[in-house]
A = this chain, B = another copy of it.
Amino acid sequence: MKGLKGALMFAQSGGPTSVINASAAGVFIEGLNSEQITAVYGAAHGIRGILDEEFYDISKEDIKELKLLKNTPSSALGSVRYKLKDASVDDTDYKKLLEVFKKYNVRYFFYNGGNDSMDTCNKISKYMAKSGYDINVIGVPKTIDNDLFGTDHCPGFASAAKYIATTIMEINLDAKVYDTGMICIIEAMGRNAGWLTASAALAGYKGLGADLIYLPEVDFDVKKFVEDVKRVCKEKNNKCIVVVSEGIHDKNGTLIVEALGKAGARDSFGHAQLGGVAATLANLIKEETGIKTRGIELSLMQRCAAHCASKTDIEETFEAGKQAVKAAVNGETDKMVCYERKAGDKYVCEYKLLPLELAANTEKTVPKEWIINDGTGISDEFIKYALPLIQGEPEMLKEDGLPRFAKLKKVLVEKK
């Protein structure tokens, strides 16, 4: 059964990626072409834009600029980290959302984000169903962390992985240039899931990787770490490249960056605000070995380096947005779009739908059996998994030798 004729509302949430706007482009372009859809809205700053009735009329945008979104990093509409309370505890926000959806005849709602956002999307979907308001709600996945359950991989991961692998290859060449010792400790994002850190193994596959890779899936032992680095230095003329996840922790679950003495702030979801573990470990290793040591944080670059994105990721992420609209128009609701890899040697990605409650709040981590060498290496299974995802170069429009990113007019819809 087809969805009702009505408006489409799309919102972006959580930490951005270098390709997140490719899904926006997919949703917008598909939405503008659909006969069922009477208006296409993009909410400013995720769920907040809906609550505040601040959203843009996407039909006012140039199609050329909407296409440029495919190569424009970060959330073009603005993002938010806003946790909806359980409706059973406080349904104020839900009532407001329902009011807005009714007022603007929104019959299609798409929320683009990671774990927390899928939780938000799930809660909204359930509330709307319970309230009897006819709306089709579809989650569009996004996260460089690659930790969403039920999907082969997540939109945004491959581009971050490609940037990390490329950068580690380049750092590998740079760090080994002198005949004196040099230890590099490189920090990748990832609180509980080590997918990004594991991407360093792709650089290793090309012969220019890291000597030691530490994922948050394995308890981190500082003493063993120091021994590992000393062993590599002994074997390799005092040269050693280490990649660590920001989320590495000791056997009690205490983050290493905190265990070694730095207090951590927490975000509105209660997650520790990480960063700084590379510098912390670099100081320790410098003291322990006397060898020149450099801590390198890949920081925001790993999630916004659109100039080094994976074309495969861009196209899949774009298609995920289109598939979400197609599914909703065809009457699907309460689902998240996910990727399924077809069996066989040739890589083919198919688009499926997964119940939202399964996607929400379940983290997918790197399989323990892929972590080898006493917790310092990654097996070929990961290479086989990740390599097809990073293929292809972005077709990025350049002006003056620099990226020409999308420029949206962002015409606000008049408040009713």
Binary flags per residue of A164-190, CB closer than 8 Å to B gives 1, else 0: 011101110111111100001000000
| Closest beta carbon of chain B to A93's beta carbon, Å | 16
Let me know if A307 is at the binding interface, CB within 8 A.
yes
| Closest beta carbon of chain B to A360's beta carbon, Å | 22
Contact of B405 with A401 in the complex, beta carbons under 8 Å: no
Binary flags per residue of A392-415, CB closer than 8 Å to B gives 1, else 0: 110000111111010000000000
Measured in the bound complex, the distance between the Cα atoms of B162 and A81 in whole Å is 32
Contact of B402 with A393 in the complex, beta carbons under 8 Å: no
Tell me which residues from 15 to 60 in chain A have a Cβ below 8 Å from any Cβ of chain B: 16, 18, 44-45, 48
Contact of A170 with B401 in the complex, beta carbons under 8 Å: no
B residues near A169, Cβ cutoff 8 Å: 402-403, 405
B residues near A387, Cβ cutoff 8 Å: 400-401
Measured in the bound complex, the distance between the Cα atoms of B310 and A300 in whole Å is 23
Tell me which residues from 203 to 217 in chain A have a Cβ below 8 Å from any Cβ of chain B: 203, 205-206, 208
Of A69-77, A127-135, A222-230, A365-373, the one contacting chain B is: A69-77
Q: Which listed residue, B173, B399, B402, touches A405 by the CB 8 Å rule?
A: B173
| Closest beta carbon of chain B to A255's beta carbon, Å | 18
Contact of B310 with A208 in the complex, beta carbons under 8 Å: no
B residues near A279, Cβ cutoff 8 Å: 276, 279
Measured in the bound complex, the distance between the Cα atoms of B162 and A305 in whole Å is 13
Let me know if A304 is at the binding interface, CB within 8 A.
yes
Let me know if A297 is at the binding interface, CB within 8 A.
yes
| Closest beta carbon of chain B to A206's beta carbon, Å | 5
B residues near A205, Cβ cutoff 8 Å: 400
Contact of A79 with B178 in the complex, beta carbons under 8 Å: yes
Q: Which listed residue, B18, B165, B167, B312, touches A170 by the CB 8 Å rule?
A: B18
Contact of A170 with B78 in the complex, beta carbons under 8 Å: no
| Closest beta carbon of chain B to A368's beta carbon, Å | 26
Measured in the bound complex, the distance between the Cα atoms of B98 and A347 in whole Å is 59
Q: Which listed residue, B294, B306, B308, touches A300 by the CB 8 Å rule?
A: B294
Measured in the bound complex, the distance between the Cα atoms of B296 and A279 in whole Å is 12
Let me know if A80 is at the binding interface, CB within 8 A.
yes
B residues near A79, Cβ cutoff 8 Å: 177-178
Let me know if A390 is at the binding interface, CB within 8 A.
yes
| Closest beta carbon of chain B to A305's beta carbon, Å | 6
Q: Given contacts A166-B402, A205-B400, A296-B297, could you give 7 more A-B pairs where the C-beta distance is less than 8 Å?
A: A74-B170, A162-B402, A170-B307, A175-B300, A206-B402, A294-B300, A391-B401
A sample of 29 cross-chain residue pairs with beta-carbon separation below 8 angstroms, ordered by A number, consists of A16-B173, A16-B174, A16-B177, A18-B170, A45-B178, A45-B179, A73-B170, A73-B174, A74-B174, A74-B176, A165-B402, A167-B301, A169-B405, A170-B300, A170-B305, A171-B304, A174-B303, A174-B304, A206-B399, A206-B400, A276-B279, A279-B279, A296-B299, A312-B401, A387-B400, A387-B401, A390-B402, A391-B401, A392-B401
